[in-house]
A = this chain, B = another copy of it.
Amino acid sequence: MTTQVSPPGEGDVEHPAGGTRWLDAEEQRAWRAWLYSTQLLNDRLERELMRATGIPTAYYEILVQLSETPSRQMRMSELADRCLSSRSRLSHAVSRLEERGWVRRQECAEDGRGLLAVLTDEGFAALEAAAPVHVEGVRTHLFDQLTPEQVEAMRDLGETLLRHLDPSR
């Protein structure tokens, strides 16, 4: 995941044409710090939410998306897109949420191919119970560590990258 390994015998300055654009020492440092910090933060939030509530963050995200919709329901595909999830993954996940009684599938009137994922009252209650845990984690491990300027920089970075990685958003 780290990025090093300029092939042995090669320094920082590379084949002027066609060669790999290796990272210099500063870029290495920035990349590793970013990589490790995001990974540690996600691991931490995942673990804390899981321990406290038994809900993985991937499921939490599904519940959140459904809860933010006026009727607490959404087409499977749109839900997948919003959760940055593949159709298949979402389908599996919704099946498991259905087993917990937190979501149910409902046929879609306008489109015979489609299904709606509907958040149940039990699902909403589970979300309400989990939200404080998750938010407190984000607060403690992220915002409490940063100055307002750093928060601003984080937003700017995230939005810049989003424009490249997912222009539709």
Contacts and interface: CB of A to CB of B under 8 A. Distances in A.
A32 to B, nearest CB: 8
A-B CB proximity, top 10 nearest: A33-B158, A30-B155, A1-B61, A37-B161, A153-B153, A20-B132, A40-B165, A37-B158, A5-B131, A34-B158
Range of interface residues on A (Cβ < 8 Å):
35 or more
A62 to B, nearest CB: 9
A95 interface: no
A21 B131 CA distance: 11
Nearest to A31: B138
A92 interface: no
Contacts of A84: 36, 39-40, 43
Interface in A1-37: 1-7, 20-23, 26-27, 29-37
A61 to B, nearest CB: 4
A162 B67 contact: no
A145 interface: yes
Interface in A31-72: 31-45, 57-58, 60-61, 64-65, 67-68
